[in-house]
Structure 1
Amino acid sequence: MSGRTSHESANASAGDESAGSGFSLVAVLVFMLIVSAIVVPFAVTAKTRLMIANNEVEQERLSLLAEGLGNVVASELIDGLGAKIFELDFTPAACRAGDLSFDVRVQDHGGLINLNAADDTLLALGFASLGFERQTAQALAKAAIRFRDSAKPFAGKPQPRSPAGPPEDKQAPFESVSELQEFSALASMSLQDLHAVFTVNSERSTISADRAPNRLRAFLARGSSASVTEAAADASAYTVELVVRRDGAGITGEAGFIIKRSPADPKAFWRLSRSPVTAAAASPEAAGTAGCEVLFGAEAAQILQGWSS
């Protein structure tokens, strides 16, 4: 009897140990699930932040490279070499160095319409090139002249304000093309589109058709204005845009600015202002392709080749 009781006690003890082990295993599994639920989101967040940080660093590097090469292009323009290398009507040029590709655009401001000097006919052609119908383009041209011109005392009854124009007239010269966005009809127009037609830096009342961007040139050919000339005059300012890409990265570095020759040093340039970079970059088929030594010089091309490898 006592032997049977001892055997039963041993079995009960073994059962208790087995139940305790099972409970411990379940407790460990639950603990591991809780820890995983806490740790995994932190790990994913850390990895995401690292990827974002790496992308930001890469974008900063490419942007600095675009800035530096933009300065190279600006120097070439001031030296007179740029006119032999680049089309000055915003036609894209492209080159490659290793896994880096470069798109460059240069615009001579003699091929743009000066907001402060152009007559209403030339201004209307510019607004028509942005897609406005003739009547609206003419109304915008008159509104631009009214906006920029000083008030003339005793000039008689003022003309009614155009609904396409701004709520108030500045009565002083345009300081920036961006002021056109104060006009109700132009408020939603992108700065890139406005900068592709107008300028405040040409110092001319005329426009050189051979330096005008393609779309604007087509409208200049359709219209008639004594302010449209064929021969290009000496450039007073340039827009320089440069976009850098690394193959497979999906990240770009951009630089865009307006320059003119320095009055203090004829071999130096001044940056007048930043310029919005064209969002849609040229495809290789649309861009003129050349070696980077042609666009930026042999020394810069050699540095780029080493930097990209």
Structure 2
Amino acid sequence: MKQLKVGILGATGAVGEQMRIVLAERNFPLSELRLFGSARSAGTEIEFKGEKLKVQEASLEAFKGLDLLLGAADNDVAKKFLPDAAKMGIVVVDNSSAFRLDPEVPLVIPEVNPEDVKWHKGLIANPNCATIIALTAVAALHRKARLRRMIASTYQAVSGAGRQGIDDLLAEIHAPEGEQPPLGVFPYPIAYNLIPQIGGFNDLGYTSEEMKMQNEGRKMLHEPDFLVSCTCVRVPIIRSHSEALTMEFEKEISPEEARELLKDAPGVKLYDDPAEKKYPMPLDTSDQDLVYVGRIRRDLSAPKESYNRSLTLFCCGDQVRKGAATNAVQIAEIVFGIA
């Protein structure tokens, strides 16, 4: 197999760090790994497979010769570098939200719509973390019964705000009694608290994070009329997002059928035995790549005409891994015929 020259933009952040780990774990065929960051982080040494690699300041010149560039930087940095990197002939898989809804850029979850990789023009977008977890959980059900509508409540770990989010929570937990550390990336203290806001609000009262589930879901499911009402909540959990999903399908589907479909669904672990207290939880799903799905049941609020077409479930998945780094590496594996 051809050995590839790979770069990571945003290599010192939480997702960039996880991309390095995933590349090593999955034995991605590397002939060279280059790490890129800001001028401030340039020169930092990071170990990879027993070798010390120096972080380089990001530039198009520094990208020359790469086969693959994984983006783990914020939107401004992504917009500055990644379209031009793609024009240089580099395959770019970007984790920012900058290009997700661009009609010229595929948005891909390998377990959901791997076929969309085929029409890339050099740049492929990695979806929002909560969207990846939700759609991986329900893709097999959608293929069977066609998902039409979803009500989602997400309980999102501080890892979704990057390394600083994790640092802020730990600082608050370990602060001396009576002391409150200064606020960081969150508008309120997060320890022992819930914050029902992730992103800015629109005119309808929904945050930017909440709209991603519908907008990105429509693109990947190829369902322009897919409807979602989503509430996103930041919770004091280090890793793994949890989500409660209530769904209405076009065709009838029972909880028993759903369990049978999910038992063998790619990227999913069916963990659904409430009598034995077996259900998805963030502690169990952190630092691995499967989306756990359980608590599958009928939606008791569904009208009579749609009752047999409605289900509710609970799912959990690691935000930094499957919700970001692993999904990006899986996309690259499809592009280069490794998967």
Tell me the TM-score normalised to structure 2 length. 0.24
TM-score, normalised with respect to structure 1 = 0.25
Q: Which has the higher helix share?
A: 1
Q: Which has the higher contact order (CA 8 A, sep 6+)?
A: 1
Give the number of the structure whose alpha-carbon radius of gyration is greater. Answer: 1
Higher strand share: 2
